[in-house]
C-alpha cells in the first residue's frame, strides 16, 4: 500500500480543522521536524512546511534534496526549492502573524534565524496538537503498523531464540538481533519524540543487567557498552545458562512502529516465582486491553488496573526499586513514544484506531526484568493485540 494524494489531503484538512477549533487566532503553522514532514508530505528532507489559515495546501520549502522530495511525494506541486529562508517570501509573503511550531524539537538557533525573515506576532507550541492528530490512525497507517507488528512477533518468537549462544556478549547478541531485524524488514531506526532518546536495536540485557538504572523512560534497564553508549549491549557481560534474557525493541516499517518485549530463559526452566510473576503481568496486560474501548479515559483505566494490584506486587512493578515509571502503556506510531498514555493525568477519551503498547513489567531481585509488551489497536471490542499474542517466557535450551 502506497501513500496517496487523498491520504495527505485528508491529513491537511484534519490539521486545519484542529487549528481552527483549538486556536481560532492562528495565522500560520511551521513544521520543521522530519517525522512531521513525513506525515504531512511523505518525505523527509532539509526542509520545512508552512500551513496558512484558510488555505488547505501547505507550502513545502526544500533546501536538500528537492529532487529526492519530488521522487517521493504523492503531491509534488506544493514543493519549492529553497537556498535560504528569504526564498520563501516569493510564495508566502513575510507575514506569519500568530505562528505555531514544534517548540519541543526545533533548536532555538534555527528559530532565531527563521524569525529574522518574517513578521511574527507570537510563537506557540503545536507539538502535542500534532501528536493528538497522529494518534488516530488511518487505514493506510494501520496497514503498515499491522505489517510491522506481524514481522516483529515472528522475529522475537521464531528467530531470536536461535541467535543465543553460551559465552556470547550482550553486544554480540545485540548485533545479531539487529541483523535479523533488518532481514525481517526493519527500517533500521527507531524514532522517539522525547528529546535526546536514542535506541538502535532496542533495550536488550542478560540477567540482572535489565535492572540497572538508565535515563531511558521505561521499566527495563541495561548496562550498555560505555557511559557514551548506555543501552547498546555490554561487551563484558557474557550469556550463561540460568540467565533471563530481556529483549525490548521497536520494529518500524514505512515509518510505522510496533513495540514488543519478549523474555527468554536461557538454558533453564524458570521456577514458579518467576513464571507466576510473568503470568501476573500478562493478566494485567489483558485486563488493561479489555478496558481500551472508544470513549474510555486513560487515567481511569490506569487507576482501575493499579487498584487491583496488592501492595506486595507493586514493589519493583514497572521498574526496579525507586526507578518505577508511572504508566502502563503508551501510544505508538511514527514515534515509539506517542499519545495517548495509560497513566494519571491523561483524561482525553480513547478513540477507535488509536494504537497503544501495553507493557506491565516487574523486576525480580537477583533475576532481572520480566513481563510482556505488545501493541494493541483500540476497537469497539477493546484493545486487539497486533503483535501476535502476549507470550509466556520462552525457554531456550
pLDDT in tens, 4-51: 999 999 999 999 999 999 999 999 999 999 999 999 999 999 999 999
Out of 117, 133, 149, a domain closes at: 133
Task: Give residue-wise pLDDT tens across range 173-188.
Answer: 999 999 999 999 999 9
Residue with cell 513464571: 275
Same domain, 345 and 205: yes
Q: For residues 251 and 231, give the distance between their C-alpha atoms in angstroms, rounded to a whole number.
A: 17
Q: What is the pLDDT of residue 389?
A: 85
- Residues 234-252, buried b or exposed e (16+ Cβ, 10 A)? beebbbeeebbbbbbbbbb
Residues 317 and 222 in one domain: yes
| Residues 229 and 120 both lie in one domain | no
Provide the pLDDT for residue 312. 96
Question: Is 128 in the same domain as 258?
Answer: no
H or E stretch including 146?
helix 139-154
pLDDT at 216: 84
Domain span holding position 382: 136-396
Residue 226 DSSP one-character state? B
Peptide bond into 65 cis (omega under 30): yes
Q: What is the largest CA-CA distance in the chain?
A: 70
Which pLDDT score is estimated for 390?
A: 85
**CATH number of the structural domain spanning residue 19:** 3.40.350.10
Residues 78 and 222 in one domain: no
Cell numbers that stand for 63 in this block = 533546501
Tell me, yes or no, whether 302 and 316 share the same domain: yes
The confidence score (pLDDT) of residue 150 equals: 98
Mean pLDDT for all residues in the chain: 97
Whether residues 245 and 317 fall in one domain: yes
pLDDT of residue 197: 87
Residues 337 and 378 in one domain: yes
Q: Parallel, antiparallel, or unpaired for β 338-342 and 362-364?
A: unpaired
Compute the distance between CA of residue 84 and CA of residue 307 in angstroms, rounded to an integer: 56
Local confidence band at 68 (pLDDT 50, 70, 90 cut-offs): very high
CA atoms within 13 A on the CB side of 147: 16
Return all residues near 93 (Cβ < 8 A) that are at least 6 apart.
Answer: none
88 and 146 belong to one structural domain: no
What is the Cα–Cα distance from 359 to 355, expressed in whole angstroms?
Answer: 13
Domain identity same for 304 and 323: yes
Domain of 230, CATH number, reads 3.90.230.10
Mean predicted confidence (pLDDT) in 370-377: 98
Hey, is 224 helix, strand or coil? Answer: coil
Domain count for the chain, please give it.
2
Helix, strand or coil, per DSSP, at residue 223: coil
- 241 and 168 housed in the same domain: yes
Inter-residue contact 150 to 222 (CB < 8 Å): no
CB 285 within 8 A of CB 391: no
> What average pLDDT score do residues 332-353 get?
98
The yes-or-no verdict on residue 231 having pLDDT over 90 is no
Pair (140, 125) in one structural domain: no
Domain end point (choices 92, 107, 133): 133
pLDDT of 135 over the 90 cut: yes
φ/ψ (deg, to 5) at 358 = -105, 130
Helices 272-290 and 298-307 pack at an angle, to 10 degrees, of 150
Domain end (from 116, 133, 150):
133
Amino acid at each position: 500500500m502506497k501513500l496517496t494524494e487523498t491520504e495527505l489531503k485528508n491529513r491537511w484538512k484534519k490539521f486545519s480543522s484542529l487549528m481552527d477549533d483549538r486556536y481560532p487566532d492562528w495565522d500560520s503553522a511551521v513544521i520543521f521536524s522530519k517525522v512531521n514532514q513525513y506525515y504531512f508530505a511523505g518525505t523527509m528532507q532539509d526542509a520545512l512546511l508552512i500551513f496558512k489559515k484558510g488555505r488547505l495546501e501547505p507550502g513545502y520549502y526544500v533546501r536538500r534534496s528537492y529532487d529526492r522530495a519530488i521522487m517521493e511525494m504523492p503531491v509534488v506541486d506544493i514543493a519549492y526549492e529553497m537556498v535560504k529562508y528569504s526564498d520563501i517570501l516569493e510564495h508566502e509573503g513575510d507575514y506569519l502573524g500568530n505562528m505555531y511550531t514544534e517548540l519541543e524539537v526545533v533548536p532555538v538557533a534555527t528559530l532565531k534565524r527563521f524569525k529574522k525573515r518574517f513578521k511574527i506576532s507570537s510563537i506557540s507550541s503545536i507539538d502535542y496538537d500534532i501528536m493528538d492528530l497522529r494518534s488516530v490512525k488511518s487505514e493506510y497507517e494501520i496497514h503498515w503498523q499491522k505489517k510491522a507488528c506481524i514481522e516483529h512477533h515472528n522475529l522475537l518468537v521464531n528467530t531470536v531464540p536461535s541467535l543465543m549462544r553460551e559465552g556470547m556478549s550482550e553486544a554480540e547478541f545485540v548485533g545479531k538481533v539487529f541483523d535479523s531485524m533488518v532481514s525481517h524488514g526493519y527500517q533500521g531506526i527507531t524514532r522517539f519524540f522525547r528529546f535526546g532518546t536514542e535506541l538502535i536495536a532496542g533495550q536488550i540485557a542478560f540477567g540482572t543487567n535489565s535492572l540497572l538504572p538508565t535515563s531511558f523512560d521505561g521499566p527495563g534497564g541495561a548496562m550498555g557498552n560505555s557511559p557514551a553508549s548506555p543501552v547498546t549491549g555490554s561487551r563484558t557481560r557474557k550469556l550463561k545458562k540460568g540467565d533471563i534474557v530481556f529483549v525490548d525493541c521497536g520494529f518500524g516499517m514505512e515509518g510505522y512502529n510496533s513495540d514488543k518485549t519478549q523474555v527468554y530463559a536461557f538454558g533453564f526452566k524458570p521456577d514458579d516465582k518467576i513464571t507466576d510473576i510473568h503470568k501476573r503481568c500478562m493478566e494485567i496486560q489483558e485486563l488493561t486491553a479489555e478496558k481500551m474501548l472508544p470513549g474510555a479515559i486513560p487515567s481511569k483505566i490506569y487507576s482501575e488496573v493499579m487498584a487491583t494490584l496488592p501492595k506486595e506486587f507493586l514493589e519493583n512493578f514497572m521498574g526496579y526499586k525507586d526507578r518505577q515509571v508511572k504508566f502502563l502503556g503508551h501510544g505508538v506510531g511514527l514515534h515509539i513514544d506517542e499519545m495517548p498514555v495509560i497513566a494519571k493525568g491523561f483524561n482525553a477519551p480513547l478513540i477507535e484506531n488509536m494504537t497503544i503498547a501495553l507493557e506491565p513489567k516487574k523486576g525480580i531481585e537477583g533475576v532481572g526484568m520480566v513481563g510482556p509488551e505488545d501493541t494493541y489497536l483500540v476497537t469497539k471490542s477493546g484493545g486487539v493485540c497486533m503483535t501476535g499474542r502476549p507470550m509466556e517466557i520462552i525457554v531456550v535450551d
